[in-house]
Amino acid sequence: MGLSVALNLIAVSGCVLLLCGSSWGINASVPLVIWHGMGDSCCNPLSMGAIKKMVEEEVPGIYVLSLMIGKSVVQDTENSFFMDVNEQVSFVCDQLAQDPKLKGGYNAMGFSQGSQFLRGVVQRCPDPPMKNLISVGGQHQGVFGLPRCPGESSHICDWIRKMLNSGAYTDTVQKHLVQAQYWHDPLNDDLYKKHSLFLADINQERVVNETYKKNLMSLNKFVMVKFLQDTMVDPVDSEWFGFYKPGQAKELETLQESAIYTEDRLGLAEMDSAGKLVFLATDGDHLQFTREWFNDNLLPYLH
């Protein structure tokens, strides 16, 4: 699910703190890696290109790597729909390991689906080390609905979900449709846990991989941003690692109420107790925010 910021960020005029010479005490030697969302690319001047430029303006001297998945912008965009997520994560892990500017570690910022993909990176590839992970509208418990679907009360939504679910967990769809790999059907929990190639693995649904847990817990901060008027992500609570209670698709539960937390399969409960989890919210639709909001709320974690 991609960034259509258009850009509210750039439209904001006036003086922002860092631009005016104030300082958050940011150490520009910590690089930033960003991963775009569905249908976007590394270098779109209205989205990731603008984000990269903005961060470079706010933090002079910072190295910002906007990930290109493939050999061209066109391929990068196509891969956000059709390239196996596990292959994408491996591709990125190799790219990061070969970049000498990242040897000392880096911060990571994901936009929409890029957020959970970067979580896959930190859990699977601890070298070079990720320091902070900033998830901007990511779906860490997946989705069970389509972009701009009419809403929870609509029978149409349930019908569309059932149609997608009828094929979402087949081998062919799982391997060739990115969004199917984080499709999470609470009405067919066993099917999801057995056949989800990406999300069920990184969320420790089948077995607890202690390495995944250790690597995620190595983060200094895991920041999750939720968009309160989001019409793209269903349910929006997934942006804070919440989801539907198992077996139905009406009642929601928070991260803290979920089994992944109470059983601490990923170390999130321990991270929460240590103050490593940060939950931020902003009024606005999916990935819609101002430059001022970005500077006030996210720039402090780029240190």
Residues with catalytic function: 112, 230, 286
Q: Report d(CA 164, CA 120) in Å as an integer.
A: 24
What is the chain's alpha carbon radius of gyration, rounded to the nearest angstrom? 18
The pair of structure tokens assigned to 104 is 């000392």
Cβ pair 134, 32 in contact under 8 A: no
The C-alpha atoms of residue 296 and residue 302 are separated, in whole angstroms, by 12
CA-closest candidate to residue 294, choices 2, 4, 1, 7: 7
Alpha helix (H) residue ranges in 169-209: 171-176, 189-195, 199-202
Q: Give Cα 211 distance to the centre of its chain.
A: 20
Q: For the chain, what is the total number of helices (H) and then of strands (E)?
A: 13, 8
Distance between CA atoms of residues 18 and 35, nearest Å: 24
Q: Which helix (H) or strand (E) holds 169?
A: none
Angle at 140 between CA 132 and CA 124, to 5 degrees: 60
> Residues 185, 161: contact at Cβ < 8 Å?
yes
Cβ–Cβ under 8 Å, residues 64 and 57: no
